[in-house]
Amino acid sequence: MRRLFALFLLSCCALVATARPASAGLSELLDAAWQRDPAARALDARRDELSALAEMAAGWAPGPGAVGIANRNDRPFDNRGRQEWELEYAQPLWLPGQAAARRNEAAVALRALDAERQALRLDLARRLVDTRLAWLLATGQAGVAERRLAVARQLADDLARRVKAGEAPRFDLNLAESERLAAEAAVAEQALAVKELARRFQVLAGSTPPPTLGPAVAETPASLHPGLVAAREATALAQARLASTRQSLRDNPELGLRLRRERDASGAEYGDSVSLRLVIPLASAPRSAAREAAAIAAVTERTVAAEQLRSQLEQDRAQAADQLATAARLEDAARARQHLAADNLSLVDTAWRLGERPLEALLRARTAAFDADTAALRAHYTREQAEAWRDYLKGSAE
């Protein structure tokens, strides 16, 4: 029993003693997760789209021109040889102020996309860190369960020998076997949890969770948090689209150049002429009002969302320090409980070996000690989760 108790004490000194993969940096994991995330890949594709739209807005015309060709003759009727050919090129033109508004909208859209990319990258970092911490907690709990099983097996084997020798009652052996079976079930459950969380991390980053992940996080003002910056840029984009809408209350005018070649009858010489055509579309008040109202509604929605996010971020930052302090106190309390449980186990083990306490007391003390180990483990990772939440609110992913 002395060797059994020594094994238990050694196991309590290491809460997590499992083999883990090599360490990886958060930046590398983020790059891998970015390539696997559908929303991130969509943002990459949108950059090409917005770059093309910006190039179009920088052009001298709002869009490409159109070429038309027409022929007129009298063959189906009197067939006197009348012939007329027309070749026309029509080009849409910018409305007053429309080109500048479109160019500003394109520039703001690119800025908004970059801000959205940074916000998504920060969100991916948070998901990676949270999943990894959950995996580490499950791995640590699996280690505690394995140590509990090893101690339970040794106790059951020892009691089996003592029962066979007539030195212990079979009732004690049954209690030890029950503890062994419960420990085996706990090991199976924790192993399943570890595999499930490892698969979740694999889906995110395409690799196994690393044992260590500690990038230096530089604190930024609340106003520069990527999520809030993205919200502000989305508001600016909505405002730019409103300005562009107000400069586009009617369709674009069109300037056409027409070349005509014609003759009145067979044998007559062809005559050539050139004409210009200018089409100015008229505005529709209901349609213009609907477009402007929709743009104003978008601006209002984005403005309110940005303000709500700013207020929420300020509250979260104020609360994060309290959460971290509370988590640290809870961890200290869990460590103290762990030491007390280990001390009680030592006392009960001595008393049981001397025949002063029943086996039930020893098993209760061991269960309390393993529960204290698990509670200390949870408190440790609760504090790390509070630190991760604080780092997320600092607004730096790497």
pLDDT for residue 41 is more than 60: yes
pTM of the model: 0.78
* Average confidence score pLDDT of the chain: 86
Secondary structure (DSSP) of 263-304: ESSTTPPPEEEEEEEEE-PPP-HHHHHHHHHHHHHHHHHHHH
CB atoms within 10 A of CB 76: 6
Q: Are the CB atoms for 195 and 138 separated by under 8 Å?
A: no
pLDDT (tens digit per residue) in 74-98: 878 787 888 899 999 999 999 999 9
What lies within 8 Å, CB to CB, of 186 at 6+ separation is 145, 148, 149
Here the tokens at position 218 are 């530089």
The whole-angstrom separation of Cα 201 and Cα 197 is 6
Secondary structure (DSSP) of 353-372: HTTSS-HHHHHHHHHHHHHH
CB atoms within 10 A of CB 341: 22
Here the tokens at position 263 are 């003759």
What lies within 8 Å, CB to CB, of 282 at 6+ separation is 250
Q: Which domains does the chain have, with CATH numbers?
A: 2-55+99-248+304-394 (1.20.1600.10)
pLDDT at 219: 58
pLDDT (tens digit per residue) in 189-206: 999 999 999 999 999 998
What lies within 8 Å, CB to CB, of 200 at 6+ separation is 131, 135
83-92 and 66-73 beta bridge pairing: antiparallel
pLDDT at 63: 87
The whole-angstrom separation of Cα 351 and Cα 53 is 82
